[in-house]
Amino acid sequence: MRYGVIGTGAIGGYYGTKLAYAGKEVHFLLHKDLEYVKKYGFSVDSCDGSFHLKEVNVYGNTKEMPPCDVVMVGLKSVNNHLLKTLLPPLLKEDTLVVLIQNGIGLEADVQQMFPNVQLAAGLAFICSAKTEPGKINHQCYGYINIGNYSCKNQQIINQVIEDFRAAGVDANEVEYEEARWKKAVWNMPFNGMTVALNTRTDLLLQHPSTLQLIKDQMMEVIGAAQACGVKNINETFADKMIYNTIHMTPYSPSMKLDYDFGRPMEIEYIYTRPIKEARKAGYHMKKLEMLEAELRFLEKKEETKCV
């Protein structure tokens, strides 16, 4: 299968280069580091084994790229409006678009843009950063779950999972709604709290008061998911997420990096949308509503500073 990657950052870049290194045909859309990667290729410094890709299919415009069987979207969700022009050149009749993004409501909105396109969620569990041109630092974890949103051809989903596994990436198919909300159990507490308190994941869990607050926020997400009809999600999952985070490399989540570098934060899909969905179901995430308000304040403060 032919793969395309839109949003070749720390996450999309990692999964795309893993597939390419394993011999799959992968085409990357790049902007800032296009010329660098054309000249030097991609370097991945990984806890699972570092590697370098010298020859890479890179482009500055999707109109130059070939139609793909699978398009992996690693864009920040604040840029999803760009998909209206970025995606069409890559689409065939049966193309599968995998949104490797964080939040709730992503697929529903993209489906409105492209009613006939097959969509799946890509739930990445990975600590990875891209702070230099053409260089990805993969710190720990790395598996990806695929949740089918509107793909009618199960064989495509199966092939994507098989290709990931052949590339050394642990991949599995999961139930869509359950997977999106389970990802939110980690994302909603840690992304916002590292920004609001200007800290890292490990430090949040070392202090008893913030550890308890993280657990309370996780339980709010679980309560919201249950109110929305999601199965197989309870306190045990929150305990597992906390345990895994304690034992992973100290980490600044994507929202913290975005805030530190003056980029827009993904507040809409990580906070506003799930909070709205919970309210529709009669559930209020009070602590996370407060965190959302704090993030909106910081966002406005940064915008004012830029003006």
Full pLDDT tens readout for the chain, 307 residues = 999 999 999 999 999 999 999 999 999 999 999 999 999 999 999 999 999 999 999 999 999 999 999 999 999 999 999 999 999 999 999 999 999 999 999 999 999 999 999 999 999 999 888 879 999 999 888 999 999 999 999 999 999 999 999 999 999 999 999 999 999 999 999 999 999 999 999 999 999 999 999 999 999 999 999 999 999 999 999 999 999 999 988 888 999 999 999 999 999 999 999 999 999 999 999 999 999 999 999 999 877 665 4
- Active site annotation includes 183: yes
Task: Considering the candidates 63, 183, 276, 280, report the single residue annotated as catalytic.
Answer: 183
Amino acid identity, residue 190?
F
Closest CA to 238 of 193, 179, 291, 182: 182
Place of tokens 């309370």: 216
**pTM reported for the whole predicted model:** 0.94
Closest CA to 16 of 140, 151, 144, 152: 144
First-last CA distance in the chain: 46
Classify strands 25-29 and 57-59 as parallel, antiparallel or unpaired: parallel
Please state, in angstroms and as integers, the Cα–Cα distance from residue 266 to each residue in 76, 81, 86, 151, following that order: 7, 13, 20, 26
pLDDT of residue 248: 86
The domains found in the chain, sorted by start residue, are 2-174 (3.40.50.720), 178-306 (1.10.1040.10)
Model pLDDT for residues 41-56, shown as the tens digit of each residue: 999 999 999 999 999 9
Q: What distance in Å separates the CA atoms of residue 219 and residue 103, rounded to the nearest whole number? A: 17
For 2, list phi and psi in degrees, rounded to 5.
-100, 125
